[in-house]
Chain A
Amino acid sequence: MNKINILIIEDLKSESEPLVDLLTKNGFNVVAVAENFKDAIKVFYEEPIDLLIIDVFLSGVPDGITFAETISTVPGSLKPFIFLTSSKDRKIFDRAKLTSPFSFLMKPFNELEVLYAIEMALEKFYDQGMALTGETKNAVINDDHVFVKKNKSLKKISIADILYVEVEQRYCNIYTDSDRYVVLISLVKIAAMFEEHSFIRTHRNYLVNSKMIEEIILNEDTIILKGKHSVPLSDNYKKLTKQFNLLS
């Protein structure tokens, strides 16, 4: 549910197998390993993909770059991607660089480098600085997902699944029905980003997904959310609840 879906485009099994193992071990979901350009296109448009790892050379020709160029030309369909390469040859890089944002991973690579490259690709793609690679508890937020690190592995949270956000000093705790994620971000900033997803402030320290509200108990200054989670409702924000047709 909260795993990041990855498509690998690599023609050599000896190269792709350790990579798949490594990614799976680190909590990623490898949707498929495409061995050529045609398969890659098919999978890319059929499956929900969050990120691509593309080998520059497929069967000796730089089809990987061609693939990146192809998906770059369709507006809205582009996803974060990483080039896999074993050569630092400038000619290849000069061509690959034209597909932006450009991230790459040199062979041979180790686990840390792969994870770092994925974080880097996400940051660059959504243009959010050094949010993940900075090793502080930060998150990359796009239109409807939050990418956040939990226990060293990278998770994807759908914003619609978030129940509420609670501030604790400099950090925000993001609660879903089953999990809690810690992100270094101010409530004001996160409120601005979540506004279009109908999140409302109910307390100085709370931001609630209004679609998850099941019950508002005014006497106890409490809001009950789906899954029996409760959040406080302070007097200052009570007037906001008036936008709901209250029965009491």
Chain B
Amino acid sequence: MLRKRLFLEHNFDKLKFYSTIVALFILISAHCQEKSSTDLIKSEFEKFPMAIRTDLNFKKAYAFFLENEYDSTLVYSHHFIVSHGSNDKYSNYCHFFRAMSFRKKQLFSQSRKEFEMLPKSFPLYINAKMEMGTIALELGNYSKALGYFLDAKGFPQEDQRNFKKSIIYHNIGLCYLHLEKFDESEKYLLESLSLQEKEGDTMLLIGSYMDIANLYYEQYKDDLAIPFFERAYTLSKKTKNFELKQNAALNMAVVEENRKDYLKSIAYRKEYEIWNDSINDQNKILAVAELETKFISEKKQKEIEILEKDNSIKKAQLNSFIYSSVLLSLLAVLLFYFYRSKRKVNKIILAQKVTLDALNDTKDRLFSIVSHDLRSNVNAIDKNNSKLSESFETKEYDEIGPQIEQGNALTNSTKAMLDNMLNWALLQTEQMYFQQEDLSLRSIVNHVTHNYEPLLSSKNIALKIDIPPSMFVYADSESLKIVFRNVIDNAIKFSDAGDQISIYTNVQSDSHCQLIIEDTGSGMSNDVITDLLGQSKVGSKKINKERTGLGLHLCQSMMLKNEGGLDIESEENVGTKLIFSIPLTKVYE
């Protein structure tokens, strides 16, 4: 009766520790299971083909699983399953990882689902069964748990190699205990105990002792129960597990209390309290340490955040600086480009303006010559022709001879003027063919004077040419001839019978020679010479009736173009000396 009361009194206590025991055992056995599972996975992983071992998702899922990073494991195992399909041989491992991870995260129904996906051929199938059983046990679903454990027991011996058979037996025993099938429970627990005694795992052994003790205690078989409690207590002293020590002590306290040995009971209670305190202390220390590390890490985190923010600000500043400088330089380049192109355009426009002005000038001069000089010459020819026909009609034959001669002279001078005008226009508009080459100066002069021989002899003017045959100049032959023609023309025009024209050379320097055309004609005053040479506008001023200045201007331009020069020395009534400077051939013998 008293017992009963006592029992009832302690019923709450008893039930409480009872469930503690169960939970504790599950913890221990689960730990064992887990250890055996991971060992197995590790050994299996070594056998996997390289392709899977180097698969990024699988590798990460595996690594995170081993490091108990369950969230990451879930993520990467999911990636692997998605990429390889749910039924892949290696996806099963991922399912297993996921099931274990869910279990750790207390998501039992998810965990069970994942476990149920595993086929029987999966090497860890038995582990999965055990895990499912443990889950059911933890959820208090004992009959279901029993089913899983019995399934596990039913596996062939070699499949159970990963497991301590004792654990399976023990778990079955526990299930029966909860289902209050004491006979079955006793059978399995004792079987498990005998196996564990062989294995010598202290923790499991303590658990088993306590479970068996509870089994008997539950059935009021105190005599059988107490030795187990005592064994559990003595063994617990050897372990470092506070919870085990505590529970063993509590059990002993309850037992002594029931035996009315209150002193002993109190002693056990005290021990229980000590262990409880130790657990609390340990927990506190752990909590403080945890808090400390958490605090430090938070602090660090904050520092990192601050630094990161600093960094990002600096980066942003740097970036904006770079962008703005690039933009600015681009702008500068663009501006410079526009400025240059504008300047170029301006230059071109200016050059064009100058050319246009020159061309316009040329045109104006041509017009003035045509309108004045050419027109007066043609008029003179016209008048002469009228006179001639008049003389012919009136049969004044004596006058016809000189009139024809005069007509010829007029035609010749007009032709010369026309030639000069044309050449000058060509030169001004750069349409003249101009090619400097090596020329025998003597030949060129001879070619020009050849045409004047009849005129010279008729006017009784002597011509003396003295140019060494080895004198070679570098010039454009046609322009040189035009110049000589003009000058000789002029020399003849201003010479009278008995005068002499001499053409000779004078080596001036290494690069140039001088050609001198000298006459003993009427000559010119210095004023006329300066007028002629300095005159920039042809035909602007008529020097005398025979001179327009066009010829001399043409000569000057052409000599300049030939990289030479032209000079005049003259004395009235003594003669004129034209001095040409002409570039010599670079190499000549």
Give the B-binding residues of A (Cβ under 8 A): 88-94, 97, 106, 110-113, 116, 130, 133-136
Q: Residues of B contacting A91 with CB < 8 Å?
A: 431
Asked if A130 and B433 sit within 8 Å, CB to CB, the answer is no
Q: Which residues 445-493 in B have Cβ within 8 Å of A in the complex?
A: 446-447, 450-451, 469-470, 472, 478, 481
CB-CB under 8 A from B481, the residues of chain A are 106
Which residues on A sit within 8 Å (CB–CB) of B443? Answer: 112, 116, 133, 135
Q: Which residues of A contact B430 (CB under 8 A)?
A: 90
Report if B432 contacts A (CB, 8 A).
yes
Contacts of B432 in A (CB 8 A): 88, 90
Once A and B bind, how many residue pairs between them come within 8 Å at the CB atom? Answer: 48
Cβ contacts under 8 Å, A92 to chain B: 433
Pairwise interchain contact B469-A130, C-beta atoms closer than 8 A: no
27 A–B contacts from the bound complex (CB under 8 Å): A88-B423, A88-B426, A88-B433, A89-B426, A89-B431, A89-B433, A90-B430, A90-B432, A90-B434, A91-B431, A93-B433, A94-B433, A106-B481, A110-B447, A110-B450, A111-B450, A112-B443, A112-B446, A130-B440, A130-B472, A133-B443, A134-B440, A134-B469, A135-B442, A135-B469, A136-B469, A136-B470
* Residue in B closest to A116 when the chains form the complex, CB atoms: B443
Interface size class of B (residues with CB under 8 A): 20 to 34
CA distance A194 to B438 in the complex (A): 29
List the A residue with the shortest CB-CB distance to B585: A130
A90 touches B433 (CB 8 A): yes
Task: Give bound CA distance, A89 to B478, whole Å.
Answer: 12
Contacts of A94 in B (CB 8 A): 433
CB < 8 Å: which of B423, B451, B470 contacts A134? B470
Nearest 5 CB-CB pairings of A with B: A93-B433, A135-B469, A112-B447, A113-B447, A90-B433
CB distance from A215 to the nearest CB of B (A): 42
Provide the residues of chain B in CB contact with A110, threshold 8 Å.
447, 450-451
Expressed in whole angstroms, the minimum distance between the Cβ of A153 and any Cβ of chain B is 16
Contacts of B450 in A (CB 8 A): 110-113
B-side binding surface: helix, strand, loop or mixed?
Answer: mixed
Give chain B residues whose Cβ lies under 8 Å from the Cβ of A106: 478, 481
CA distance A111 to B447 in the complex (A): 8
Closest residue of A by beta carbon distance from B472 = A130
A residues within 8 A CB of B447? Answer: 110, 112-113, 116
Q: Point out the residues of chain B lying under 8 angstroms from A130, CB to CB.
A: 438, 440, 472
Q: How far is it, in angstroms, between the C-alpha of A195 and the C-alpha of B340 when the chains are bound?
A: 66
Q: How far is the CA of A227 from the CA of B451 in the complex (A)?
A: 45
Apart from A88-B478, A112-B446, what 7 extra A-B contacts exist at CB < 8 Å? A92-B433, A106-B478, A106-B481, A110-B450, A112-B443, A134-B440, A135-B469
A141 to B442, alpha carbons, bound, how many Å? 24
B584 to chain A, nearest CB (A): 14
Measured CA separation A136–B440 after assembly (Å): 11
What residues of B have a CB within 8 angstroms of the CB of A89 in the complex? Answer: 426, 431, 433
CA distance A111 to B448 in the complex (A): 11
A117 to chain B, nearest CB (A): 10
B446 close to A90 (CB less than 8 A): no
Contacts of A90 in B (CB 8 A): 430-434
Encoded as 1 (CB less than 8 Å from any A CB) or 0, chain B from 53 to 85 comes to 000000000000000000000000000000000
**Contact bitstring B417-447, A, C-beta under 8 A = 1, else 0:** 0000001001000111111001010110011
Chain B nearest CB: distance from A167 CB in Å?
20
Residue of B nearest to A93 (CB): B433
Which residue on A lies nearest to B589, using beta carbons? A134
Closest-by-CB residue of A relative to B439 is A133
| Min C-beta distance of B438 to chain A, whole Å | 7
Docked Cα-Cα span, A238 to B336, in Å, equals: 85
CA distance A111 to B426 in the complex (A): 26
Q: Which residue of B lies closest to A114 (CB)?
A: B447
CA distance A90 to B438 in the complex (A): 20
**Most interface-central of B433, B478, B481 (chain A CB within 10 A):** B433
Considering the chains assembled together, what is the distance between the CA atoms of A93 and B450 in angstroms? 26
Q: Find chain B residues with CB under 8 A from A113 CB.
A: 447, 450
How far, in whole Å, are A218 and B430 apart by their CA atoms in the complex?
A: 71
Q: Are A135 and B433 in contact (CB under 8 A)?
A: no
Task: Kindly state the separation between the CA atoms of A130 and B447 in the bound complex, as whole angstroms.
Answer: 17
